[in-house]
Amino acid sequence: MAFVLKTFGRLQLVDEDGNPVPFPEKGLLLLAYLLTTDQGSADRTTLVSFLWGDADKDDTFATLRKLISRMKARQIELGINILSSQGNIVTLDRASLSSDILLFGTEEAVEPFSQLKHLVTLMNQPFLGPVHSHSRQFQRWLAERDICHIELLGNTLRTASRLAQSQMEFELLRKAAVILFRTEPKDPATLQMLIQIFQAEEEVASLRNHFEQRRNFILRGIAARTRSDDDDAKSLRPTSAPSKPKLGAALPLEPQDIRIAIPRLVLLPPKNQSVRPQAGLLAASLVEDITIGFCALNSLEVIAPYSAVQIGHHLETQKTFFERHRVNYILDTRISNTGDEVTLFAQLIFFDQNQIVWAERFSLDHMDLVKDRRVVARRIALSVSSEIERHEALREDLNPIAYHRYLVGRRHLARLTLPNLRRARKEMKAALSVSPDFAPALSSTARTYSKEWLLTARGDIELLQTAETLAKHATETRPDFADGYREFGVAKLLQGAFDESAEAMEVAESLAPHYADVIADYADTLVHCSLPAMALRKIERAIELNPLCPDTYFWTAAGANYALGEFEASLDYIGQMADPNLADRLSAANWAMLGRQDKARVFVRRFREGNPDFDVDKWLSAVPSKEQWHKDLYREGLKKAGF
């Protein structure tokens, strides 16, 4: 009888008729792991670490022996022989066990649409279902599996998209694209690939609507909360992801409210004033590509190209159209000759005041226009989007004195030292004395208190309560202000309220999906939630967006690597900090875990010079970590270092 190991949905062993076969759960997890190893085998030490983490080695080795004995006995009952052991090595006979587990390289041997259909069926279910383990090795393996699944889906989707012809095949592409969006909703490479795959206006609009849905749900939740008269609603509880039931109960937001919240842009068809025929042929596709580039951004709404072309040909009705459809910005483009050079001139017009807020000329002469027009289109889309966001911010009714003091204070926050934090706080308080409801100053002041709590390591709860109050005030003043939710999430995290912190960070990132500082603090939250692999992916994305980043980014990356047992990588990130002394505790723990007591003691001595009363257990009781193994790992490193 043939048996199949199912890993998507529920982890289980099934017979040839699809009926579940009783088998130890840890044994099934062991089989799944062995399927992903190079030779289908692993030593007992590796398996113990994978299944039980850093628990007592003697106990776990005995437990593994019992587990393998139970698995062999069950094999005899079932009449199969899939697992064997010889000395210290445990081996899986891959030829005797089928599985749905996804492995690198397997997609090449299968017809693309069959493979894509298979992947869509599997990845609509959770990998391993409810099975979980707190071991770092399991978490790392699980993260590797996620990357494998995403890569297989992305590669297969890319291949199949070039071959699709029938309606059924296009429908399959759409289903796969939705899964990829859910998995990597904000990854630029994923967005670029999907935009290239779905060239047609209707397809791009469909994908963009799916991408925008999360932000619109959150806006509805914010509107419902701010309109509620209930006292409990006034105490901030940030809205979580839209799939959660409590968000579904939020009051609906009127359509015009969403339009007001997001600026609207129309891109008029370009005027072709060039004498070169190639430039004339390029014009129509260029404007379409620029519009598609805007569709990948969620900071503004874009009038569909069809409507834009229609209104572009009727100058007498443009003003009425813009007013009726609440258009805020118009991008006017023209291709022309400047001397012997072909150029694209673009200007952004703020319609409400008929004001030109941005203009730039792009040279198109030194490139293959057909090949590189999408690169130009993307540059224009990003430039215009950034300019609209900047212009929207400048239009706010700000007190110039408050804004100046705020900018001075922000400069001090670039480098995290206690003197700098207090200088920043002084400037922020000066800004608030002039403009008490200035949300950016409120959230930045909150940040000074939460960062002081971290740097002093004294566990002063009043610092965090002050930070929470200020952040809450910022969100009440500006419900669409990402920084307010971010600082609220930080304050809640450091008080051990993991769920509230994660919810606030979800709102913050959804309101500002390309804001590196928000992504970095979300990563820090994930570290404290004992999800270091996810945290590392987030912080690497933040560093990519902000390559000249502050020390806190590298500190977070170092903490995530430490939790994953990557001590040398952790030290590498600390070494990139402008002031690595800030992470002396973590440096000491890393060196101790690497067995370098001499190195560890150097950092212990240096840290104690500024913090002579530091106590490991008292500090760990104050620093939040959701899982006990995470605290235990930090305690082990600090104790080994000599704290």
Q: What is the residue-wise DSSP string for 182-223?
A: HHSTT-HHHHHHHHHH--SHHHHHHHHHHHHHHHHHHHHHHH
pLDDT of residue 79: 85
Judged against a pLDDT cut of 50, whether residue 77 lies above it is answered with: yes
State the average pLDDT over residues 205-218: 44
* Predicted confidence (pLDDT) per residue in 2-21, tens digit: 789 999 888 889 888 888 88
pLDDT value for 296? 52
Residue 375, pLDDT score = 60
**pLDDT beyond 70 at 343:** yes
Q: What is the mean pLDDT of the chain?
A: 76
Q: Which two three-digit tokens encode residue 543?
A: 């560093």
Q: Is 560's pLDDT higher than 90?
A: yes
For residue 492, the model assigns a pLDDT of 92
The Cα–Cα gap between 82 and 13 comes to 12
418, 446 contact by CB (below 8 A): no
Question: Across residues 25-29, what is the average pLDDT?
Answer: 89
Tell me the angle at which helices 136-161 and 112-123 cross, rounded to the nearest 10 degrees. 140
Between 147 and 181, residue with greater pLDDT = 147
- What are 194's two structure tokens? 């999907």
Rounded average pLDDT over 273-300: 60
Output the pLDDT for position 195.
57
DSSP codes of every residue in 592-631: HHTT-HHHHHHHHHHHHHH-TT--HHHHHHHS--SSHHHH
Q: Over the stretch 472-523, which tens digit does the pLDDT of each residue have? A: 999 888 877 788 999 999 999 988 888 888 888 888 887 766 567 788 889 9
Which residue has better confidence, 220 or 315?
315
| 21-30, 388-397, 566-575: the lowest-pLDDT one | 388-397
Specify whether the CB–CB gap between 500 and 473 falls below 8 A.
Answer: no
Residue with the bigger pLDDT between 99 and 217: it is 99
Give the pLDDT of residue 95: 81
- In this prediction, residue 587 carries a pLDDT of 92
Confidence class for position 206, pLDDT limits 50, 70, 90: very low
Lowest mean pLDDT among 6-15, 132-141, 402-411, 425-434: 402-411
